[in-house]
Amino acid sequence: SIQNLSEEFAEAARQLKKEAPRIQFGKIDVTHQHDLRKEFNIQAFPTVKFFVNGSREDPIDCKGVRKASTFITWVKRRTGPSTVLINSTDQAEAIIKADDLAVIGFFRELHNDSVEVFCETARDVPEMPFGMTASQDVCASYGIQRNSLVVFKKGKPVHKEVLEDGRQNKLVLTRLIKTFTLDLVTEYNIETSVKIFDVPVENHILLFTPTNSETFNEIYENYRSTAAEFRGKILFVLVDTNEARNGRIFEYFRIRDIDVPAVRILNLTSDAKYKMPADEVTVENLKEFCQSYLNGKAKQHLSSEEIPEDWDKMPVKVLVGKNFNSVIF
């Protein structure tokens, strides 16, 4: 809520006042400051912007940060080094074991585009510690031969991404790493919905099914194993159709009891919805659906009522999704 974020923001300001007195904090109620709201194009609440070197041009948006500790890390990484330089295996182990999640960059040398992109990515992912090393001993102890980014979860490596020479896409890396703050498949509920939308992956796939059905375990395993292949590109969400509080999301996707299990993809930017053509939730069908969507070949699903029999009998024609295009265009 706005109240919660306001309190966390104030707590961060209190702590940073001692540690970084040069950073000033301010709060604006834009309901009374229309000019500022227009100048900085404030559309969502709350919005946090970071102004650098006294310039009001191009402030940096601070998105998806909700806790004081994370906010402090975000600010510190914007004003100082964003990663810890690792010189020994003991130092690497200490970082990896200090939190649930950690990201380590292993490099042949510390002056190239890959390192720069890694450090830029660290600035945008304050939820976890970042370290980097060019020590041959450290790389060898983790069996790393090429420039690589490794995500550790609970002390164990869970993902390795080879960083090719040249500039990689920072947003792609940010999306991939942020997905580790969620489970591989995240069950949708009031608590997780905020986290789901904080991860900057615009493609969401949703499995609608009752979790107490006889076929649930098999379907869920198929869904979960597919999720591993598309991590960072598509966010996998599970919606329990037995949960009454999920009613609004069924309505939004026009899901009826007769339809489940059902699989849909939603693009958050365009709000376009896609329906998996196959009925069976198999690994093969899921992979084909996800791949055709990413390749731009999936057909958009337009929820529609049936065309009424007498739709064209009167001077004013009755339009629904299914006859809208053919009649109008």
* Whether residues 122 and 152 fall in one domain: yes
Instruction: Identify whether 140 is part of a domain.
Output: yes
Instruction: Identify whether 322 is part of a domain.
Output: no
* Whether residues 168 and 264 fall in one domain: no
Residue with tokens 């599970």: 238
Instruction: Identify whether 265 is part of a domain.
Output: yes
Q: For residue 145, give both structure tokens.
A: 């031969």
Pairing of the two strands 130-133 and 84-85: parallel
144, 179, 214 — which closes off a domain? 179
* Whether residues 197 and 279 fall in one domain: yes
Instruction: Identify whether 303 is part of a domain.
Output: no
Which CATH number is 166's domain given?
3.40.30.10
Instruction: Identify whether 45 is part of a domain.
Output: yes
For 320, the enclosing helix (H) or strand (E) is none
CA angle 226, 231, 234 (to 5 degrees): 85
79, 111, 136 — which closes off a domain? 79
* Whether residues 73 and 123 fall in one domain: no
Closest listed residue to residue 268, CA positions, set 313, 215, 204 = 204
Count of structural domains within the chain: 3
CA distances (Å), origin 302, targets 201, 263, 266, 269, 325: 22, 14, 12, 16, 11
Give the structural domain span for 29.
2-79
Question: Using one digit for the tens of pLDDT, what is the confidence trace for 209-245?
Answer: 999 999 999 999 999 999 999 999 999 999 999 998 9
* Whether residues 11 and 105 fall in one domain: no
* Whether residues 141 and 154 fall in one domain: yes
46, 79, 112 — which closes off a domain? 79
Instruction: Identify whether 39 is part of a domain.
Output: yes
* 81 close to 140: Cβ distance less than 8 angstroms: no
* Whether residues 175 and 241 fall in one domain: no
* 193 close to 179: Cβ distance less than 8 angstroms: no
What is the 8-class DSSP label of residue 249? H
Instruction: Identify whether 324 is part of a domain.
Output: no
* Whether residues 175 and 258 fall in one domain: no
Question: Using one digit for the tens of pLDDT, what is the confidence trace for 49-107?
Answer: 999 888 999 999 988 888 899 999 999 999 999 999 999 999 999 999 999 999 999 99
* 236 close to 226: Cβ distance less than 8 angstroms: yes
Question: Using one digit for the tens of pLDDT, what is the confidence trace for 156-196?
Answer: 999 999 998 777 889 999 999 999 999 999 999 888 888 89
Residue 89 CA neighbour count, 13 Å, CB half: 9
